[in-house]
Amino acid sequence: MGKITIDPVTRIEGHLKVEVVVDGGKVKEARSSGMLFRGLELILRGRDPRDAQRITQRICGVCPTVHSTVAALNLDSALGIGDKIPDNGRVIRNLILGAAHVADHILHFYHLAALDYVDVARLAKYEGNNPALNSIRNFIARGELGPFVPRYEGDYRLPDPVNEQAVAHYVAAFDMRRKGQEMLAIFGGKVPHNMAIMPGGVASVPTVDNMTSFLWRLKALQEFVDNVYLPDVLAVANVYSDYFEIGYGCGDLLTYGSYELDGKEADLTKRKRFFRPGTTSTDLKFRELDPAKITEEVRHSWYADSISGRHPSQGDVVLDEGKRGAYSWLKSPRYGGMVFEVGPLAQMMVNYADGNHKVRNLVDSTLSQLSLKPKALFSVMGRHLCRALQTKFVVDAMVDWVLQLKPGEPAYISYELPRQATGMGLADGPRGGLGHWVEIKEGRIANYQVITPSTWNMSPRDDKDQPGPLEQAMIGTKIRNEANPFEVVRIVRSFDPCLACSIHLLSPKGHDLGKLRVC
């Protein structure tokens, strides 16, 4: 029996450590642990509620935009203006989030995930005339290979021409994701940490020139998604088709939905969204989402059992550092007491189950190219594929949205700050469902709770000892070479973990906090 420790796991956001116990060539036990605690929920208490929107987006520099969006939805609801956001404000918020979504998925596939499949070192013998590839060959020839080595060695299977093209696209994708960020900044001011989204709408106003400028950057991205990103994911999926059978996960999927299509409905859960909220499972039956069923359990986390099982609106942080059986600072979010995975796979399959025609057509036609059934998407490669398909939906929809803007009309409304109020904001970002909850007392933040997508996906065992989605995805996996555990890092990265987001995290290894010894 061997133990594999990977610390740090790179090409993700934040500080993650993974430990798996391998028995008979298979993962018997798996634990994922975050390594950083900043206590942002504690920093928020006592502050002006409006500042939460600025502070919470700084939870994460990779997905700040969805935090800024969900924080604004949360505060809109607390301020009682959820049904009063002007259409321009609603649409610009969608465009800002959409731009982030597209740029982020391109970044994830090419720059965070691809180096597990694509062999940059093989470009040392490149003889063609692509300038980008020649500059990589020259780079390799100089002999200083950071940051591309060291790496796991062995399982790089792409044939030379596909591999070369993938490296060229790795370089091109840097420019494309940057273009997505520039598109975001047209309305968002700057990024990371856009400045336009705020409770009440957005600060920016639409003009014909920024609409046109947005549209043409969008068109370039649309071409890239259709002609490069989707074909590349399919090419990798064809060669690594065994990864449709690796990393299954928990089988239950949840999405909050995203992109508001209706500005006149005060109740967030009834508001019409481009991607509908809901849950599904391997039965592919659609079920309505009921946010009241969300709880956070802490039996295996360093928190007092007295706060276990609470709805996040009643959430708290009561430490119990020496607790027996605890091994993480991550709480375990559960839905009706069950383990749920969030992310692009969940959003696509829930909307597939709901009978969304466009989603069904695109998913079915893609699966038929690969001769696969929908259940194959519950896998490492399925997550990558769903991420790419979701990108296509968002990029195509934005072409319509940008033309809905009306220069000269407002994008923001004023409001009064209440003395007492509660709020909830829910939406899916690039990594899945994000929830913010606020309680305002005496005009100040009394409590602010955040449940991030990575908290769902990387959560530890819960009160019923059910392992979290990532842990379940790793358990049972065959490890071919323990010195180069490709399977483990490929499973982890298929979830696109974002650890800075997972606020409660601290330390792993089953040590209790008081005994964690550090250099």
Q: Catalytic residue numbers?
A: 13, 60, 63, 67, 431, 454, 498, 501
Name which of 350 and 489 has its Cβ closer to other proteins: 489
User: Which residues fall within 8 angstroms of residue 157, CB to CB, at 6 or more apart?
Assistant: 117, 239, 240
Name which of 203 and 370 has its Cβ closer to other proteins: 203
Alpha carbons 89 and 107: distance in angstroms, whole number: 27
Q: Minimal distance in Å, beta carbon 107 to other proteins?
A: 8
Contact criterion met (CB below 8 Å) for 58 and 193: yes
> Residue 137 CB: number of other CB atoms within 10 A?
16
Instruction: Give the Å distances, CA to CA, from 51 to 28, 68, 429.
Output: 45, 11, 21
Q: Minimal distance in Å, beta carbon 490 to other proteins?
A: 11
Name which of 189 and 309 has its Cβ closer to other proteins: 189
- Strands 258-260 and 273-275, bridge-based pairing: antiparallel
Name which of 14 and 382 has its Cβ closer to other proteins: 14
Q: Which of 395, 402, 496, 397 is nearest to 102 (CA)?
A: 395
Contact criterion met (CB below 8 Å) for 215 and 306: no
Q: Minimal distance in Å, beta carbon 64 to other proteins?
A: 7
The DSSP letter of residue 371 is: T
Largest CA distance in the chain: 69
Instruction: Give the Å distances, CA to CA, from 422 to 65, 266, 298, 441.
Output: 22, 14, 24, 9
Q: Which of 167, 58, 157 is nearest to 117 (CA)?
A: 157
Name which of 251 and 418 has its Cβ closer to other proteins: 418
> Residue 420 CB: number of other CB atoms within 10 A?
11
Name which of 203 and 284 has its Cβ closer to other proteins: 203
> Residue 240 CB: number of other CB atoms within 10 A?
20
Q: Which of 7, 25, 23, 30 is nearest to 473 (CA)?
A: 30
Burial 341-375 (b: 16+ CB within 10 A, else e): bbbbbbbbbbbbbbebeebeebbeebbeeeebebb
Would you state the structure tokens that stand for residue 401, as one six-digit string?
Answer: 């949205």
Alpha carbons 163 and 124: distance in angstroms, whole number: 12
> Residue 451 CB: number of other CB atoms within 10 A?
26
Q: Which of 1, 5, 59, 64 is nearest to 31 (CA)?
A: 5
Alpha carbons 69 and 398: distance in angstroms, whole number: 16
List, in sequence order, every residue forming a beta bridge with 27; answer none if it has no partner.
22
Q: Which of 289, 290, 288, 284 is nearest to 353 (CA)?
A: 284
Name which of 78 and 202 has its Cβ closer to other proteins: 202
List, in sequence order, every residue forming a beta bridge with 412; answer none if it has no partner.
201
Name which of 7 and 364 has its Cβ closer to other proteins: 7
Contact criterion met (CB below 8 Å) for 459 and 331: yes
- What is the chain's alpha carbon radius of gyration, rounded to the nearest angstrom? 22
Q: Minimal distance in Å, beta carbon 82 to other proteins?
A: 18
Contact criterion met (CB below 8 Å) for 269 and 289: yes
